[in-house]
C-alpha cells in the first residue's frame, strides 16, 4: 500500500476572510443643496422677468407713439435760421419724442460750420428744444483760400458767394504752414485774435481803422491802415500797451498822410515814425 506523502509538512490550503469594519452611509439630503438654488434662481428669474417686461413696455410705447413731436424750439440763432436748424436735426412732425437719440441729433446739427456748440433737450408732451451757440467771426484769414476766423483763433468756414468781407484780413499764413507747423501756426492765429481784441479797446485807433493784419514769423504782426495802407509794426507781445501809446498820437499822425512811410510800435517806451 502506497501512502501520498506530499501533503506532509505543507500548509493547509484554506482561505481566511479579511477583517473589515462596515461603515453605515447616511442618505444624501438633496434638499440642503437644492433649496438655496431654487431660492436664488427664483429671485433672479423674477428680476429677469421684470427687465423683459419693462423692455417690452418701452418698445411698445415707442411703437405706439404716445408723445409725437409737435414743435421744434430753436434758440440762439443769428446768422443761421430756424428752418436750417430744423432741417439739420432730421426730426419730422409726429415722430416719437421718446425714440429720438438726442446725442445723434446734436451731432447732425454740429456739422454746420457756424455751430460752435449745441444742446438738445426734450420736453413732454411734444417739444424738442435745440439751443445753439454760433461762432463769432473776428477776421478773414487767407490760407490760400479765405476762411472766417473765430474768436478762438480757429479757421472754421471757407468763404463762399454772398459771404461778407467786411472784416480785417489776416495774411502771411498758409495751409502749407498749418500742415508743416500746426502748433506754431495756431499759436500765431490765437495771437492775431488777441491783437484784434486789443484793437477793440481804444476809441481813437479802432478795429475799423485796420484793413489788414500781416504776420511774419521773424518780425511778428504788421497792421495796415484802412486809409492809405500805412504799415504799423507791432511785434508779437504787449499789444495793449503799444496801442495805448499809439492811440494818443494817432489822429495827429493821420493828418500827415501820405508822407508816412511806416510806424514802428515794437519798442518798450517809444514810437518810431518813418516819413518818406
Distance CA 255, CA 244 (A): 19
Q: Which grid cell is 170?
A: 489776416
Distance CA 10, CA 201 (A): 131
Least confident of 140-144, 150-154, 163-167: 163-167
DSSP symbols for 113-144: TTEEEEEEEEETTTEEEEEEEE--EEEEEESS
Instruction: Indicate whether 138 pLDDT > 50.
Output: yes
Query: Could you tell me the CATH number of the domain that includes residue 233?
Result: 3.40.50.11690
DSSP 68: B
Range of the domain at 232: 137-275
Distance CA 186, CA 190 (A): 6
- Domain end, chosen from 134, 160, 176, is at 134
Residue 15 falls inside a structural domain: no
Instruction: Indicate whether 164 pLDDT > 70.
Output: yes
- 181 Rama sector, left if φ>0, alpha if ψ -120 to 50, beta otherwise: beta
Shared domain for 125 and 241, answered yes or no, is no
Shared domain for 258 and 179, answered yes or no, is yes
Residue 234 falls inside a structural domain: yes
Shared domain for 174 and 207, answered yes or no, is yes
Residue 57 falls inside a structural domain: no
Distance CA 269, CA 242 (A): 9
Least confident of 60-69, 71-80, 246-255: 60-69
pTM: 0.70
* Counted domains in the chain: 2
Structure confidence at residue 85 (pLDDT): 97
The residue among 175, 173, 146 whose CA lies nearest residue 159 is 146
Tracing cell 472784416 back to the chain, one arrives at: 167
Shared domain for 110 and 96, answered yes or no, is yes
Shared domain for 144 and 270, answered yes or no, is yes
Shared domain for 179 and 218, answered yes or no, is yes
The residue among 101, 104, 105, 95 whose CA lies nearest residue 127 is 95
Residue 104 falls inside a structural domain: yes
Shared domain for 109 and 233, answered yes or no, is no
Q: Which grid cell is 120?
A: 438738445
Shared domain for 143 and 236, answered yes or no, is yes
Shared domain for 236 and 265, answered yes or no, is yes
Shared domain for 170 and 256, answered yes or no, is yes
Task: Report pLDDT digits (tens) over 72-115.
Answer: 999 999 999 999 999 999 999 999 999 999 999 999 999 999 99
CB atoms within 10 A of CB 149: 27
Q: Which grid cell is 215?
A: 504776420
Amino acid at each position: 500500500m502506497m501512502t501520498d506523502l506530499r501533503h506532509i509538512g505543507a500548509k493547509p490550503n484554506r482561505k481566511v476572510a479579511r477583517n473589515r469594519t462596515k461603515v453605515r452611509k447616511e442618505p444624501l439630503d438633496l434638499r440642503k443643496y437644492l433649496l438655496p438654488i431654487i431660492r436664488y434662481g427664483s429671485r433672479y428669474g423674477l428680476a429677469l422677468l421684470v427687465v423683459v417686461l419693462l423692455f417690452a413696455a418701452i418698445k411698445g410705447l415707442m411703437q405706439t407713439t404716445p408723445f409725437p413731436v409737435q414743435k421744434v424750439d430753436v434758440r440762439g440763432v443769428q446768422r443761421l435760421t430756424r428752418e436750417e436748424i430744423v432741417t439739420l436735426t432730421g426730426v419730422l412732425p409726429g415722430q416719437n419724442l421718446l425714440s429720438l437719440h438726442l446725442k445723434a441729433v446734436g451731432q447732425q446739427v454740429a456739422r454746420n460750420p457756424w455751430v460752435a456748440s449745441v444742446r438738445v433737450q426734450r420736453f413732454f408732451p411734444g417739444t424738442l428744444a435745440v439751443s445753439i451757440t454760433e461762432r463769432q467771426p473776428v477776421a478773414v484769414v487767407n490760407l490760400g483760400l479765405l476762411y472766417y476766423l473765430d474768436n478762438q483763433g480757429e479757421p472754421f468756414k471757407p468763404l463762399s458767394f454772398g459771404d461778407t468781407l467786411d472784416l480785417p484780413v489776416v495774411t502771411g499764413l498758409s495751409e502749407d504752414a498749418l500742415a508743416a507747423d500746426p502748433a506754431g501756426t495756431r499759436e500765431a492765429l490765437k495771437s492775431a485774435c488777441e491783437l484784434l481784441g486789443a484793437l477793440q479797446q481804444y476809441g481813437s485807433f479802432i478795429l475799423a481803422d485796420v484793413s489788414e493784419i500781416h504776420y511774419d514769423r521773424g518780425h511778428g504782426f504788421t497792421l495796415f491802415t484802412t486809409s492809405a495802407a500805412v504799415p504799423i509794426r507791432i511785434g508779437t507781445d504787449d499789444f495793449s500797451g503799444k496801442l495805448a501809446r499809439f492811440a494818443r498820437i494817432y489822429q495827429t499822425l493821420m493828418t500827415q498822410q501820405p508822407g508816412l512811410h511806416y510806424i514802428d510800435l515794437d519798442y518798450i517806451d517809444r514810437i518810431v515814425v518813418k516819413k518818406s
